[in-house]
Structure 1
Amino acid sequence: MITIEPNRLKGTVTVPPSKSMAHRAVICAGLAKGQSVIRNIQLSDDIIATMEGVRAFGATIEQTGNTLIINGCGLDTTRISQEIDCNESGSTLRFFVPLATLFEGSTHFVGQGKLGQRPLETYRELFEHQGLRYEAGTSKQLDLTIQGQLKSGTFEMRGDISSQFITGMLLTLPLLDGDSKIEITTHLESKGYIDLTLSVLSAFGITVKHDDGYKTFKIKGNQHYQARDYTVEGDYSQAAFWLSAQLLGNEIKVEGLDQDSLQGDREIVRILEQLGANEEERIIDGSQVPDIIPTVALAAALSKGKTKLINLERLRIKESDRLVATQKELAAIGAQIKIVEDQLHIEGVKSLKGGAEVWSHKDHRMAMMLAVASTVCEEPIQLKDPECVKKSYPDFWEVFKEVGGRTDEWSMG
């Protein structure tokens, strides 16, 4: 538990590297033959999980500052069995499940928190269809064992559960014997993350073709990842907290972002412009940007007029039920916010009262949103489980204090 005193922020923040792009670059380098250098890496819990995953496949990784030197396994498939601890990283789990079929023997996946409760049905059905071993434990904790060689072919996949399944297959299929095709059977959500995948694949020498509507992906088989030097760009998902703080009156300058980035969460810039306009009513579609919705909800809570955040179904299957968590914690400090089906309906108020105990729900994005919320509260807030920011932004609290955030150190344990 920490106490956060209301205080306006002032200063310059350099945003951390994109976690999404770092996951993908580490995997591609780990599967390449030869040495890659990945620059601008932050060792969050999620990225550490992915690093341990490629080590399980036989890659070696050395760290020098914020640079990783990765000697890839070159797809030496003779490793007999391995265990991969995904911690709480959904990306690590969903990317590595199909990749593990490239190797002989079984792979056992374990994890922490709610990871074992996040949907994996897409892979279970795929594995059963190809006659591969897929054994999931019965507890809520992740306990999954897979075995068998994935075969090339045509794969029908939903696009409205998580784009991570599609990325997992795009990482894997180019390495199989024979050509493959992915056909998307529903509306594709989080298209921006697929663009990131295609961008990193291309950087490491892999070619994937797709139609304009992202309904069909054609993947040539027998391709090889090529080692290279790669620099990870700044993360718009994390920048969203500081950019929202700007809108709320904090004097924060944000550096380290690529204005031409393919990251879907770059949409935060346009959304905040919309919230800053003096409109009486606005509708914001959250289907493509679920990770920034908590901080968008905070900004909307202090914007003039009414805001409807729609298409938020996928918030329910994140590290927490973010739909419920966002409504509950913002309401606790004075926001006028309610859940209507899979939407958040928000009526702007002039200020937030604070003076309450709030909970991160052990969700890194909730913790950071509530930290920014504290800067516009009238009274201090007490935040339970603040340390969960380690999942994606390990030095968040240090940066928060450097620009004027006031936290009670004693109660951080």
Structure 2
Amino acid sequence: MDIKIKPSKLSGNVVIPPSKSFAHRALICAALSEGKSIVRNIELSDDIRATLEALEELGATSKIENMSIEIEGIQIMNNDVHDINNNIHNMNNNMHIINCNESGSTLRFMIPIAAALGYKCRFEMSGNLGKRPLDVYYDIFDKNGIKYKRGENYLEIDGNLNAGEYDIPGNISSQFITGMLFALSMLEEDSLLKITDKIESKSYIDITLQCLKDFGIEIENNNYRKFRIKGNQKYKCRKEKQGYNKYTVEGDFSQGAFFLCADAIGNDVNIKGLRRDSIQGDKATLEILERMGCERIYNECSDIKMKVNSLNSTVIDATDCPDIIPVLSVCAAFANGTTEIINAKRLRIKECDRLSAINEELSKLGANIEEKEDSLIIYGNGNKKLKGGCDVWSHKDHRICMMLSIASTVCEEEIIIKDAECISKSYPRFFEDFEKIGGCIEVIEK
């Protein structure tokens, strides 16, 4: 669908959806546990659905009720077959088809898990997912004698991941590190994961380590350079018995950033459901907006508002928070002075080339942006409205689509966003929430 948005001020309460990062990891940990777990506060975006269906394909079962999911662990785990490398490959030699859709987390997390289980798998990909690098795993396949075949939009693997010592670059994606931490924790022998190069998106590793700990897995973290994984560990289910409580997913700062930034450019949104003590990297939105002149205000329920009189420029380092760069770019275009977004090269290999998309689409609205190889220089307009009055394109990227929706609130004229259905990837009810607080949307069916 395409949507037409008329400029309007947003005002009211928004309950932020659950963290996609925590939800992926909690579902995986539950599926690797013996017995049943209950994961609460889950919304089935396209990405989360892809992970859930992948786990079911590998043998987990699930029951969805409202915003909770009951997961029974993969049957082989429940049968106490713990020496995975020696036992499982002969038990399940059929090809498992896992449709990752456009979810990079699903793909990169599930590949080493499937290899640790010894399953033959075909991972199918949609959109631009097939263009995102997987070379880190090819080196691991070669080391373990795992057969693999890569096509434009699929990867097939056949073989066993063994415990041992592995070197992984930290400057491509933290998802490879997370995937290996999940998988190596399943094996009988000890393993060592050594990180080469500079590590990026460190906060996502923290989320992984926290989820593993919540499900009974201990990892020794030596300053993010070495991770020691003891063998013969077991994931422990999360259900209300024997002192082990249900697992609740916290609110998502990646999605909350859109409405925090809406406040920063002059709207009046009360953001609910975000933890003050969250370890999510995208919580950096608060600190960045404060540097730009906003004041963070909490009420007695820990709801957040960003109060601002005038928005100013700053330098934004994208290393640990790439997902919030699109909407922060709207703030930068609206601010006084020149904002530089640095260390942002990885944005070029997301659902689209986000650096190019930010430049192209915000420029249509009247922003003044200079695009470089790994950065953006945004010349703010001094808190004046953007122009609007044009068609813009989501690039079929959920974060670009939501960025443009927030930008519409400071446009002089209406805009039409092409391919707006892509929000279902991470925040299916975004437009519903947007309308509830005063957004003026007209759906244009194709």
Q: 1:253 to 1:168 in 2, by over 3 A?
A: same
Matched residue, 1:71: 72
Looking at structure 2, the residues matched to 348 and 105 of structure 1 have their Cα atoms a distance apart, in angstroms, of 53
**Is 1:204 matched up with 2:215?**
yes
Preserved CA contact (<8 Å) 2:116 2:184: no
Preserved CA contact (<8 Å) 1:128 1:134: no
Matched residue, 1:29: 30
SS in 2 for 1:69: strand
Matched residue, 1:336: 368
Preserved CA contact (<8 Å) 1:327 1:337: yes
Q: 1:146 to 1:247 in 2, by over 3 A?
A: same
Matched residue, 1:186: 197
Moved more, 122-131 or 305-314: 122-131
Preserved CA contact (<8 Å) 1:31 1:74: no
**Is 1:255 matched up with 2:269?**
no
390, 409, 415: which one pairs with 1:375?
409
Preserved CA contact (<8 Å) 2:184 2:229: yes
Matched residue, 2:237: 227
Preserved CA contact (<8 Å) 1:32 1:75: no
Superposed displacement of residue 181, structure 1:
0.6
Looking at structure 2, the residues matched to 104 and 165 of structure 1 have their Cα atoms a distance apart, in angstroms, of 18
Structure 1 unpaired stretches of 5+:
none
SS in 1 for 2:292: helix
177, 182, 185: which one pairs with 1:171?
182
Q: 1:174 to 1:165 in 2, by over 3 A?
A: same
Preserved CA contact (<8 Å) 1:158 1:185: yes
Looking at structure 2, the residues matched to 44 and 399 of structure 1 have their Cα atoms a distance apart, in angstroms, of 15
Superposed displacement of residue 120, structure 1:
0.4
What is the TM-score when the length of structure 1 is the normalising length?
A: 0.97
Superposed displacement of residue 245, structure 1:
0.2
Looking at structure 1, the residues matched to 312 and 4 of structure 2 have their Cα atoms a distance apart, in angstroms, of 35
Superposed displacement of residue 279, structure 1:
8.6
Q: 1:184 to 1:104 in 2, by over 3 A?
A: closer
Preserved CA contact (<8 Å) 1:236 1:266: yes
Looking at structure 2, the residues matched to 89 and 281 of structure 1 have their Cα atoms a distance apart, in angstroms, of 33
93, 103, 118: which one pairs with 2:107?
93
Q: Deviation per CA, 1:24-74, whole angstroms, max 9, x where unpaired?
A: 000010111101000000000000000011101111100000000111115
Q: Which amino acid aligns with 1:65?
A: N
SS in 2 for 1:373: helix
**Is 1:312 matched up with 2:344?**
yes
Moved more, 271-280 or 383-392: 271-280
Looking at structure 2, the residues matched to 64 and 157 of structure 1 have their Cα atoms a distance apart, in angstroms, of 39
Aligned length: 408
Matched residue, 2:140: 126
Q: Which amino acid aligns with 2:182?
A: L
290, 295, 298: which one pairs with 1:273?
290
Q: State the identity %.
A: 49
Preserved CA contact (<8 Å) 1:31 1:75: no
Matched residue, 1:84: 98
Q: Which amino acid aligns with 2:315?
A: I
Looking at structure 2, the residues matched to 150 and 189 of structure 1 have their Cα atoms a distance apart, in angstroms, of 25
Superposed displacement of residue 412, structure 1:
3.5
Preserved CA contact (<8 Å) 1:30 1:59: yes
**Is 1:392 matched up with 2:426?**
yes
Matched residue, 1:150: 161
Q: Which amino acid aligns with 1:109?
A: F
Q: Which amino acid aligns with 1:54?
A: L
412, 416, 439: which one pairs with 1:405?
439
Q: Which amino acid aligns with 1:86?
A: C
Superposed displacement of residue 163, structure 1:
0.2
Q: Deviation per CA, 1:140-175, whole angstroms, max 9, x where unpaired?
A: xx2110011111111111001000000000001011
Superposed displacement of residue 351, structure 1:
1.7
Q: 1:347 to 1:52 in 2, by over 3 A?
A: same
Which of structure 1's runs of 4+ aligned residues deviate more than 4 A? 277-281
Structure 2 unpaired stretches of 5+:
78-87, 239-245, 295-309
What is the TM-score when the length of structure 2 is the normalising length?
A: 0.90
Q: Which amino acid aligns with 1:84?
A: I
Q: 1:235 to 1:280 in 2, by over 3 A?
A: closer
Matched residue, 1:60: 61
Q: 1:402 to 1:280 in 2, by over 3 A?
A: closer
Preserved CA contact (<8 Å) 1:353 1:379: yes
Superposed displacement of residue 280, structure 1:
6.8
Preserved CA contact (<8 Å) 1:368 1:389: yes
302, 309, 315: which one pairs with 1:283?
315
Preserved CA contact (<8 Å) 1:49 1:92: yes
Looking at structure 1, the residues matched to 27 and 203 of structure 2 have their Cα atoms a distance apart, in angstroms, of 19
